[in-house]
Structure 1
Amino acid sequence: MDYLTATAEKKYLMYISQNYSYAILRPLQQEILARGGQVRWFLEGSNVNHEFLNEGEQTLSTIEEIHNWQPDVVYAPSNIIPTFIPGIKVGVFHGFDAGKLNRKGENDHFKIRGCFDLYCTQGPNTTAPFKALATKHGFFEVKETGWPTLDPFFSQIANNPYKNPNDPRKTLLICSTFSKRLSLAPKLYEHIKAYSQQGKWRILVQFHPKMPSELVEQYKDLQNDNLTFVETDNVLPLLQAADVMLCDTSSILLMFLLQRKPVVTFCNQAPGEHLIDVTNPDKVEEAINYALTTPTELMTKIEHFCQQLHPYQDGLSSQRVLAASNELLLNNPVLKPKPRNFIRNFKMRKKLNYWRW
């Protein structure tokens, strides 16, 4: 059966809580609308900017409105989602597994919180662990689809605002996670300030939206002809504009690698042969210079890593996610009941001020 044709007249809810989720789900929205499905957005909390909605994108404002609309499928690029809303819940992830460990030494990427009916995984190195977890828990399914976010990534973005054809310098993109323990932003500030004054590279800086505001302001103050600080809900043009990335343990570095471009990391939690990892701040500049030479051995290791991370370069991951969702919806397989999670559900109801159903 062609599960894509089953999209017509069905209802799909995009449930988001961060601005970066717009870019994750919009390629999927495009596929749904092209096949006659309906799409609505629910923007949870104050971290989502309603001004980032595009013309024609429709929203539901309350959980009661969601119940009245009765979505067939709910997509969420987050770790948790209310289980008391209708529709099958599909996890599409807010990033790749960057190897981040929590304070208990656990990898949160593979933590099952009992919210989803289906996980759409990105590549072999995440599919295998999630399938093992599906066998263990029994209340969700797993399909390897690729990541919808990247569908536009495999074609060049026209009129990229972050490229400057009149500037012959190489472009360095600096990205950082918000965790004080993992972030390069406070630790490399003086070095990055020096790079911005040297003018050897054209520098773009973009941070996780949860980065402390005082650090954001510090970096904004560095802006000059050599360094630009960027705030955006869509990082794909930024990634395409750069030649090399400097990062820490943020999962955005994995998106950058998929372009087959080198990444220099500072104190990465899961360094591998596909990265140029340094722990001495004084060695960062040397590592960037090395990365810009795109050494053959490094590029071979990056290619091998990408085949495990996200082997799909056809721009059709959204179609695969949509087909997998419709398949689960139509076939209605027998799964174990999800854990009740009384405490989490109570917290979500309190947060959303919703006590019915």
Structure 2
Amino acid sequence: MEFTIDFHWQLSHGNRKKAIDPVLIALLKSIEESGSLQAAAKQAQISYRYAWGLMEKWQTELSLPLIEKHRGRGTALAPAGQYFLRAHQQLQARLMPQLSNQATQLRQQLQQLQAAQQNLRLTLFASHGLVVNALRDRLNELAIPIDLHFHGSLENLEALKTGNCDGAGFHIPIGPLGQQLTPDYLALLDPNKIQLIYLVRRQQGLIVQAGNPKSIRTLSDLARADVHFINRQQGSATRFLLDQLLRQQAINSQQIQGYSHEEFTHMAIAAIVASGVADCGFGLAAVARKFSLDFLPLVEEHYCLALPADRLQEAPFQELIRILQLPEWQRSLADLAGYDLRLSGQPVSYSDIFQSSS
């Protein structure tokens, strides 16, 4: 077990504060070294579109260029980018020895507690979502270790069935589409062995730029020549859901500009749309609100945790369920758009979830 401590920059305009993404610093450093934004994006393991959108965002916030493109000579740091990178590097050089010492001290203290906590560790496979992230953070605050891995719903249930995780998060559409998908889910779930615990009811749909300047109203608008789309990666539950909706409405994905351009999280989708690189993405209502974007709801989903019934009395599962049922936990997430947490933490039957999807 090792800890590292770092610092982050924050930009303030009056009462408005914005944390500067650490990826921006990494991009500036890589551009200085390689002379290429594309190479910097690859090194940071993000798409070129996301890197360009991030750079555009902070150039707008600062009202100064951070990079300069030179024909035939690639990309270089503008003076503002140089100053920013130098300030960060100087602070790192001054503070990192002290931060490293503090991290070492913390590691030594926690290692003394680690043996007592090992029996509480949970491994959870789940589909990406804001509530899942918040649950992980809350469990960590309570010193209940959790290993959280993000995969598609069916992949999560397969991992639970084969014993590769302690619990699996999955979401399934409510309505006719859910009815079509139900056999795939039930093939991986044994009602005699797996208890379903409700997490949240949530909305997914089209995330569009503020004011919806392209007047996007339905899925069929994605096939318009003037609409540029950003997609979730193949294998994600949200991508699977989108493909089912397109198939249901007989929309050819090859006609969608940008269908092959992929990002790995709901947040990245919203950031791409907010930057203006894409006109539209598919994802969560809550993420659209975080980026002050417009949202067009298309489907509501049940999001549940599948947990082994014979282990529900174990301490980590008891604590997980207790947290989900706390009124203060539910109130803390009440502002998330498109989320309904009234049943959070409640055991639900298979008929509650899969028949209501029919």
**Global fold match (TM > 0.5):** no
- Indicate the structure (1 or 2) with the bigger Cα radius of gyration: 2
Q: Which has the higher helix share?
A: 2
The alignment's TM-score, normalised by the length of structure 1, stands at 0.32
Q: Which has the higher strand share?
A: 2
